[in-house]
Amino acid sequence: MKVLEGKSVYGGIAIGKISIFAKGDRQVKRTSIEDTAAEIKRFDEAKEKAKEQLKALYEKALHEVGEVNAMIFDVHQMMLDDLDYVESVTNIIETQHVNAEFAVATTGDNLSDVFASMEDAYMKERAADIKDISNRVIRILQDREADGLDSDEPVILVAEDLAPSETVQLDKSKVLSFVTRLGSTNSHTAILARTMNIPALIGVGYSEEMDGKMAVVDGFEGKILVEPDEDTLRQYEGRKEEEEKKKKLLQDLKGKETVTLDGRTIHLYANIGSVSDIASVLANDADGIGLFRSEFLYLESDTYPTEEEQFKAYRTVAETMAGKRVIIRTLDIGADKQVEYFDLGKEDNPAMGYRAIRICLDQPDIFKTQLRAIYRASHYGTISIMFPMIISVDEVKKIKEITEEVRKELEAQGIPYGEVELGIMIETPAAVMISDLLAKEVDFFSIGTNDLTQYTLAIDRQNPKLDPIYDPHHEALLRMLQMVVDHGHREGCWVGICGELGADTALTETFLRMGFDELSVSPSMVLKVRDVIRRMDLSDEEV
Ligand code: PEP
Ligand code: MG
């Protein structure tokens, strides 16, 4: 048995086989080939197999997400038969006497460069598709399965790091735990682990030969035990069972009010990243959705999601929540959430760069497409809209003008929409300091403590080296929270927290005493926080 230490970002026990996550970036070697005809045949066979895979993916997507979303797999099949593409690969094999993998990789790189340099936006986007189909053929030639998970059974996923664009593509039902060498407590992989209620470790120095081995992840102690002996395994199986029992006990709180012993109630909502997370929101009986990170719709897609695609997603969430409040946060990309087709370019300080509302105000077409989709969906439930990374009253005024335009256009077209509250995230120190002014403009505030902590303490939330001093309990932060609640209430705004701190049960009582109206936490934390609140007595409070 080998024990590797790391840092836990979410507790729990996972037992299963390790699967080392294969990055999409392929390693292709150039090898000399004598029999070029045989090599071309290898390419042809791999291409046919790739088309079969794409056909199966098309059928699956058609069934699960509809024709519009499935189309991309159809397009990929056609691209594989494109004469320029096929001729380029065969020419390279014949003239350079090289292996098919190298010829496909070279063709993929060359053609994607050509597409990327085109003016036409549609053609530009095809650059990523060329890379995608080439990677698929290379994987087949190298006898590797899909990028990422290549297992039929659920596994402990071990990786260098996981970008949000990679996690969105994972089949989540196959992940028992996340273990990474890099990453930080506040990264989106950590947030995802909390949403999925599975243990996660960072800072683990793993080695490739662990792949396929049996292991235990101890998310309480922050370690992974590779090839545990019989005794250890049995011990952990027992602990896992106990954990399951505890979770079951919390289930008794389903359907119960989130109320303190002395009768104070608070809205307890859940955070989601995609439509499929609603299942866990319902299973954990959240009173609503306090943060729908809509950028994951963009991260999941190869190109800008259309109004119709977005409308369907928002409508599904609104309808499934059956009248409970659903707060959709508008696109928050940039920083660690990179989307290739946005072509955001490299920045020295992406966390403080061209991101979130800055992109939306700079590219109003993208913004308006999303707003139209949200307003249309608001006819089917109770939707509120929230805007990220606000720093000024001016921004909010501009946003309100644009939302007004969108509503007018919908009215002119006879398209119905519902009552929609508008709110902003308070996640910059600037927004905190002018929250008295901002409160006059909006219906609610939701504090994004993840970013607010990083900007207030000047600590990059992605940098694991700084984890020990990333202190969301810092007095500066706590004072800011109180200030925002007071300013919000003075102008009739309700105020909540949707950052990870909202689920910190060591502070739940403090939040209630500060006067927060809402906490939005990972679905898996809802019942735990409800449990804490229901045991709380605030009757000693001065009124
Ligand atoms: C936050 O910053 O606290 C937040 C909720 O947003 P995100 O984690 O998506 O940046
Ligand atoms: Mg944020």
Higher pLDDT, residue 133 or 289? 289
pLDDT of 125 above 90: no
Q: What angle do CA 67, 272, 149 make, to 5 degrees?
A: 65
What confidence score (pLDDT) does residue 367 get? 98
Give the pLDDT mean for 359-383. 97
Atom number of ligand 1 nearest to Cα 450: 3
The residue contributing the CA closest to ligand 1 atom 3 is 448
What confidence score (pLDDT) does residue 191 get? 83
Instruction: Give me the residue label for tokens 């045949």.
Output: 41
DSSP alpha helices (H): ranges in 147-229? Answer: 164-167, 188-196
Given a contact cutoff of 8 angstroms between Cβ atoms, the answer to whether 357 and 389 are in contact is yes
What confidence score (pLDDT) does residue 429 get? 98
- Cα gap 126→235, rounded to integer Å: 52
The residue contributing the CA closest to ligand 1 atom 1 is 448
Active-site residue among 360, 487, 493, 498? 498
Active-site residue among 76, 97, 188, 360? 188
- Ligand 1 pocket member 280 (CB < 6 A): no
Ligand in closest contact with the CA of 291 = 1
Token pair belonging to 107: 């063709």
Q: Pick from 425, 451, 457, 480 the residue to mutate for probing ligand 1's pocket: most ligand atoms within 8 Å of its CB.
A: 451
Given a contact cutoff of 8 angstroms between Cβ atoms, the answer to whether 175 and 196 are in contact is yes
Given a contact cutoff of 8 angstroms between Cβ atoms, the answer to whether 162 and 178 are in contact is yes
What confidence score (pLDDT) does residue 463 get? 87
Tell me the per-residue pLDDT of 64-122, one tens digit each, with 9 for 90 and over: 556 766 787 888 899 999 999 999 999 999 999 999 999 999 999 888 888 878 877 67
Token pair belonging to 349: 């300080």
- Cα gap 69→331, rounded to integer Å: 19
| DSSP per residue, 242-275 | HHHHHHHHHGGGTT---B-TTS-B-EEEEEESSG
- Cα gap 353→346, rounded to integer Å: 10
pLDDT band for position 160 (cuts 50, 70, 90): confident
pLDDT band for position 225 (cuts 50, 70, 90): very high
- Ligand 1 pocket member 451 (CB < 6 A): yes
Q: How far is the CA of 403 from the centre of ligand 1 (A)?
A: 23
Given a contact cutoff of 8 angstroms between Cβ atoms, the answer to whether 454 and 448 are in contact is no
Give just the sign of the alpha carbon dihedral 182, 186, 189, 194. Answer: positive
Instruction: Give me the residue label for tokens 């024709």.
Output: 67
188 assigned to active site: yes
What confidence score (pLDDT) does residue 391 get? 98
Given a contact cutoff of 8 angstroms between Cβ atoms, the answer to whether 181 and 203 are in contact is yes
- Cα gap 446→485, rounded to integer Å: 10
The angle that helices 121-141 and 67-80 make with each other, rounded to 10 degrees, is 70
Given a contact cutoff of 8 angstroms between Cβ atoms, the answer to whether 372 and 307 are in contact is yes
- Cα gap 531→253, rounded to integer Å: 7
Q: Pick from 274, 293, 352 the residue to mutate for probing ligand 1's pocket: most ligand atoms within 8 Å of its CB.
A: 293
Token pair belonging to 308: 């119709």
